[in-house]
Structure 1
Amino acid sequence: MKPTNKLVAIIVVFLATTVFSYGQTRQLERANKKYDEYEYINATDIYLKVAESGYQSEELYTRLSNALYFNSRYREAAKWYKKLYDLSRGDVSSDILLRYSQSLKAIGRSRQAAKMYDAFLKESKVLNDDLASAKDYLAIIEENSNRYKIDSLSINSDNIDFGAHMRDSVLYFSSTRSKRKSVKRIDTWTNEPFLNIYTATYDIETKSYEEPIELKGVINTKYHESTPVLTKDGKTMYFTRSNNSKKYNEDKNAIAQLKIYRATKIEGRWTNIEDLAINGETFSNAHPVLSPKEDRLFYVSNMAGGYGQTDLYYVDILANGSLGKPMNLGHKVNTKGRESFPFITSDYELYFSSDGHFGLGGYDVFYLDYGTKEKQLVNVGKPINSPRDDYAFSIDNLSKKGFFSSNRGKSDDIYSLVETKPIKEILEQEIHGLVTDKQTNVPITNSIVTVNNQDNEVVSEVRTDEIGRFTVSVNRFKIHTLLAQKKDYNPESIVISKKNENTNVHIQLGKNIEKVEEGVDIAKLLNVVIYFDFDKSDIREDAKVELEKVFVALKQYPMIKLDLRAHTDSKGEAVYNQRLSERRALAAMQYLLSKGISKDRLTAKGFGEKELTNACKDGVVCSEQEHQQNRRTEFIIVE
């Protein structure tokens, strides 16, 4: 009996194992199909059951983690990303590292998030020019925070509400709310009813919103409509809608894409719904916004050829209403992650949401001064950004009021905002400067000071006042060069480093033109500095270059005569210094004579330590730099 029982036991175990394996395979096939159809809610449940049963594979963990991540289930996503990371021993793509980092950040595990983000920077081989680690990013984000007052809107529902902007006291927004009890249609991606566009009129007297209503007309359908933007005259609307083309409806296996449509208002009704030429059947376009001149449409797309999962694009709107070629906003905006929900202010400032740039959670709101040459990216900080998804930011630059959306509460809600401190103050740093004559220290008035960026492009230009002072504003996250110029002077420049702590600069200009008269030292004019080896009077190779300046001046002005005067510091005995200076003066003169200068035009004298330019006499402690000021050779015009 024992053998029989053992055999039965083996058979039972074998059958159980076979059924288990077969069941997993079928479930994975179903899950993969759901995943490829973007129905992440269903796929997640299936993947989760398979994974929790003990089945392990990088493919399973990847799909499960991503499905959870795309549905903002960050705590669960972080758990399975860790299993994927451990199983693969850290050999994962930069995309996975990014999502893992963002998931960790969303649940408050900042230290681990920073580690994964640093790994992402290394793996992606795209290190930011300004900041090299997560620690730097977090410090900047903290510094940028607390510039807004926010409040949840009274019109929010228990469903999804997002993407608000105001036009003529009417708030336009998107929502999955519905008062129709018969509505049973559910989007399998969000497990919510389909989105529609709503409006809510704002009563200025009561400072409250009236009951929201669905946008009347033919805009809303049985599928998704969202994120409308209106032209200033209110006659044209661009909005997002699920693809409902004939080709899509006839193809049962087609994946639902999003498209941007255009509608016109005629006699108070929206009509002439137009499927724009930039749309396609194999990719999505969404969330349109107009430039201030309404000649350019910004939007998000996952079309082929981008940098990441979704990128920001723009397309020119031509005079006849047709559209130009879609243009990607480039790597300063787009990452390997998701960029979405663009907004352009009246001053051409770009706000958008991203999970590819380092932030506080899932989607964070970022700012880019799009209208400038330098285009600095900034995380807008708290309280706009949180550990959850924050997006659909908009603001009026005159009133400083606007809106944004977030799922920091029980669901996606709309929040009002008031900017209390301009974001440009974060970017700008004032540099206060002084321009003086290098020889006399006299302030130079009306000199031109140019601010150049790292590409040597002119950012701004000012002139010094009557006391030689100037003030310029620079982007404190960039390296700049300040170039001072004035007629009859050699231009001089200084470098302003990133996040420069010293806001006061002094630029000294040396003359490049001097009146030829007695007493003028052409060494100062020509910046002649002759160095000798210690205790030597031989002319070094570098000194020959300096003496060539003097030789050319003598050739150009054959009537002038020079007295060569060599000086030493106070180190050593005075008698020794005197003799050393005489030898050095004679050596310099001999060089010029060897070049063909007439002897009657030159004299040479040594002054030793008799004519110090500072207080560094015997017994006074001075720096090497101060002693060097006294070790000089002058070329004084005597006739």
Structure 2
Amino acid sequence: MIKRFFLLTVLFSVLGNVIIAQDRLINKADEKYQDYSFSPAIDIYKRVLDKGYTSADLLMKLGNSYYFNAEYKEASDIYKRLLNEYKEGIGPEYYFRYAQTLRSLGEYDMSKDVMAEFSRITSADVRANLYMAERDYLAEIEKNSGRYEIGKFAFNSRYSDFAPSFYGQGLIFSSDRDTGNLARYRHTWNSKDFLDLYKVNADSVSENKVVKFGDNINTRYHESTSVFTKDGNTLYFTRNNLFDGKTVKDEKGVVRLKIFKAIKENGIWTQIEELPFNSESYSIAHPTLSPDEKILYFASDMPGSYGESDIFKVAINSDGTYGTPVNLGNIINTEARETFPYVTSENVLYFSSDGHPGLGGLDIFATKISNSQYIGTVLNVGKPVNSELDDFTFIINEETRNGYFASNRENGVGQDDIYSFVETKKLEFDCIKPITGTVRDKISNQVLVGATVKVIDENNEELASSITDSNGNYSITIDCNKGNFVRATMQGYVPSEEYLNISDSKPLIVDFYLERDTVTAGYGDDLAKLLQLSTIYFDFDRFNVRPDAEIEIQKVIAAMEKYPSLKLKVTSHTDSQGVDAYNLWLSQKRAESTVAYMVSKGIASDRLQGEGFGETRLVNRCGNGIKCSKAEHQMNRRSEFLILE
């Protein structure tokens, strides 16, 4: 009995020590994980898992460590196990990442099934809508494929080489070749790559030696992704959060990334300073400039981001200050990773994403910028630039059609490699041009409510239509890659149209002025109604023409000037207040007053007649003895313009 008790005591002691040792390993792995040190974390988590210890938390962190380290086959296996063994309580993000890893392995049908489950759990997610819409995204990618001829970059190392940028006749790129750091951190907000900037062919097209760039730029920490102004004298680049030469950690112990600016003076890079919108609490990285160098684009995980990283822009003011960073919105950004922006001289924005439908890992996408708007389709640039693994840091010279990008695809030289390419066929972007305007009567200038504005293509097929609102305004869009007719129609008017040729997507105002169809106007018709005039009213017991009435009568005068043969009879009316005989006299004076006013403005007297009808033609119930409001009585104090011939 004593012997058995002793053995149990030893057994529990051993098990306790094992559990304590496992907990220590997991705590150590968690520290590495929280510090974005995914490679060491993987080693520790895997040791614990191989010993038979498992949990949902361990599988989530191990899967994420593989995922963010771009080891998608291993990540897929772990995510599959996680969702099989711990399905309850697992967040939707793990379904998305599992689907992503399956695409990286070419398992597109299985990936679609997992994405359907992801969409069911979180239908409001931008990514779910993009993938589950009625579209064959693989066919779309295939349509854009085959437009690039891929070449080799002769200066790749067996480590990580990526983030090329144009500089003079050569390139600046980022590499950890001097440190030999094998952990892949470039896609997460960490800072432990100890990357430096290198240049090749930067000074001479005949000199191919790779050398470190700028003694004052590189430090013993992390410098990466760069962009230069056209004159080559201003540099924006990514660097660790440093103070007095030492890294600074945020409240979570993470060393964040910041964008710095440097000025070249007498061949030396100086005045190195961080941009004012950097933060100690989040990362800002991967700068690129607009063609006019007035906007800086970058990636960040700052508050207000849709996902793990978003693309932002900020204005560079003429005095050297900066505006407020602006998120590019959910046409560009998703709940996943959008990063590494690049803007061409033709205002095409290229960026990498694993949130938009792709082949797996990070893919390169493009969209057209017009007037600071991103209203076109986001296109996957297709194979062979994109692969099942990570493809990123894309740049292109729009004049030569030559460019570079980086990838960790198989059969490369190192962890990440830079590839050159020639674009043999340009991407075709949707061109959406907003058209707005007003439809009016050509003679009276009165707005036409309820007019129809149509977009008709060159084959006379109707593509879209809009109805004018209470202010006569309409809004419509056209495909500005094609010629279009924009046509305005309304009953009783001659249609009018304007042909819009192929153009850019800059918004355009097109106003229409429709002429009356004279066939519809005949003897006895009220010209005021045909011209949609406001009623000509008179004040109580007055026959002088009011200022507001003058505006409407001027429209009648314009019609008579346009049609010299037109003759009118002005009929005036009163309300029922007062004696009937007096009202008849008053209405006659109103008719004569209106005729006199028109003659004074140049209309021949023989083209006009005037007759008063007193209160004999009331337009409402307000006869003698009926109590009515002032507004109701005023409706009867009016003039009409009847066509004689």
**TM-score class normalised by the smaller sequence:** 0.5 to 0.7
Specify the code of the residue in structure 2 equivalent to 1:268.
G
Cα distance, 1:50–1:457 mapped onto 2, change above 3 Å: farther
Cα distance, 1:380–1:189 mapped onto 2, change above 3 Å: closer
**Cα displacement string for residues 118-143 of structure 1 (whole angstroms, at most 9, x for unaligned residues):** 33333332357776359722221122
1:202-601 correspondence to structure 2 within 5 Å: 210-246=208-244, 249=247, 254-371=253-370, 374-408=375-409, 409=412, 410-424=414-428, 432-435=457-460, 457-460=475-478, 472=483, 484-485=487-488, 488-489=493-494, 513=517, 515=519
Specify the code of the residue in structure 1 equivalent to 2:90.
V
> What is the deviation of 1:513?
2.6
> What is the deviation of 1:88?
2.7
RMSD, matched Cα: 3.9
> What is the deviation of 1:411?
2.1
Conserved in 1, the CA contact under 8 Å of 2:166 and 2:172? yes
Q: Unaligned regions of 5+ residues in structure 2, if any?
A: 434-454, 468-472, 498-513, 523-566, 569-644
**Cα displacement string for residues 317-342 of structure 1 (whole angstroms, at most 9, x for unaligned residues):** 11111111111111111111111100
Distance 1:282 1:204 in 2: 41
> What is the deviation of 1:19?
2.1
1:70 — aligned with what?
Answer: 68
Conserved in 1, the CA contact under 8 Å of 2:290 and 2:343? yes
1:633 — aligned with what?
Answer: none
Q: What is the DSSP-based 3-state SS (H/G/I as helix, E as strand, rest coil) of the residue aligned with 1:515?
A: helix
> What is the deviation of 1:144?
1.6
1:165 — aligned with what?
Answer: 165
Cα distance, 1:136–1:189 mapped onto 2, change above 3 Å: closer
Cα distance, 1:421–1:171 mapped onto 2, change above 3 Å: same
Q: What is the DSSP-based 3-state SS (H/G/I as helix, E as strand, rest coil) of the residue aligned with 1:163?
A: strand
Specify the code of the residue in structure 2 equivalent to 1:322.
T
Specify the code of the residue in structure 2 equivalent to 1:355.
D
Distance 1:116 1:272 in 2: 51
Distance 1:412 1:91 in 2: 36
TM-score by length of 1: 0.66
Distance 2:166 2:174 in 1: 13
Distance 1:204 1:269 in 2: 18
Distance 2:465 2:401 in 1: 30
Q: Unaligned regions of 5+ residues in structure 1, if any?
A: 437-447, 463-469, 474-481, 493-509, 519-556, 559-638
Conserved in 2, the CA contact under 8 Å of 1:117 and 1:134? no
Conserved in 1, the CA contact under 8 Å of 2:376 and 2:431? no
> What is the deviation of 1:61?
1.2
Distance 1:373 1:250 in 2: 36
Distance 2:154 2:184 in 1: 28
Specify the code of the residue in structure 2 equivalent to 1:120.
F
2:139 — aligned with what?
Answer: 139
Conserved in 2, the CA contact under 8 Å of 1:165 and 1:402? no
Conserved in 1, the CA contact under 8 Å of 2:367 and 2:376? yes
Q: What is the DSSP-based 3-state SS (H/G/I as helix, E as strand, rest coil) of the residue aligned with 1:116?
A: helix
Distance 2:248 2:356 in 1: 40
| Paired residue total | 472
Distance 2:76 2:283 in 1: 27
1:548 — aligned with what?
Answer: none
> What is the deviation of 1:379?
1.0
Specify the code of the residue in structure 2 equivalent to 1:227.
T
Q: What is the DSSP-based 3-state SS (H/G/I as helix, E as strand, rest coil) of the residue aligned with 1:101?
A: helix
Cα distance, 1:219–1:262 mapped onto 2, change above 3 Å: same
1:120-159 correspondence to structure 2 within 5 Å: 120-124=118-122, 125-126=124-125, 132-133=132-133, 136-159=136-159
Q: What is the DSSP-based 3-state SS (H/G/I as helix, E as strand, rest coil) of the residue aligned with 1:172?
A: strand
Cα distance, 1:162–1:48 mapped onto 2, change above 3 Å: same
Cα distance, 1:36–1:231 mapped onto 2, change above 3 Å: same
**Cα displacement string for residues 406-464 of structure 1 (whole angstroms, at most 9, x for unaligned residues):** 0112421111111111111677999953449xxxxxxxxxxx998889x97544489xx
Specify the code of the residue in structure 2 equivalent to 1:284.
S
Q: What is the DSSP-based 3-state SS (H/G/I as helix, E as strand, rest coil) of the residue aligned with 2:29?
A: helix
Distance 1:146 1:77 in 2: 30
Conserved in 1, the CA contact under 8 Å of 2:172 and 2:200? yes
Conserved in 2, the CA contact under 8 Å of 1:259 and 1:279? yes
Distance 1:517 1:258 in 2: 74
Cα distance, 1:289–1:379 mapped onto 2, change above 3 Å: same
> What is the deviation of 1:512?
7.7
Q: What is the DSSP-based 3-state SS (H/G/I as helix, E as strand, rest coil) of the residue aligned with 2:483?
A: strand
Q: What is the DSSP-based 3-state SS (H/G/I as helix, E as strand, rest coil) of the residue aligned with 1:424?
A: coil
> What is the deviation of 1:286?
0.9
Q: What is the DSSP-based 3-state SS (H/G/I as helix, E as strand, rest coil) of the residue aligned with 1:77?
A: helix
Conserved in 1, the CA contact under 8 Å of 2:159 and 2:182? no
Distance 2:193 2:482 in 1: 57
**Cα displacement string for residues 449-502 of structure 1 (whole angstroms, at most 9, x for unaligned residues):** 98889x97544489xxxxxxx9538xxxxxxxx85336934689xxxxxxxxxx
Cα distance, 1:250–1:75 mapped onto 2, change above 3 Å: closer
Q: What is the DSSP-based 3-state SS (H/G/I as helix, E as strand, rest coil) of the residue aligned with 1:318?
A: coil
> What is the deviation of 1:15?
2.9
Identity, in percent, stands at 35
1:92-103 correspondence to structure 2 within 5 Å: 92-103=90-101
Specify the code of the residue in structure 2 equivalent to 1:398.
E
Cα distance, 1:53–1:513 mapped onto 2, change above 3 Å: farther
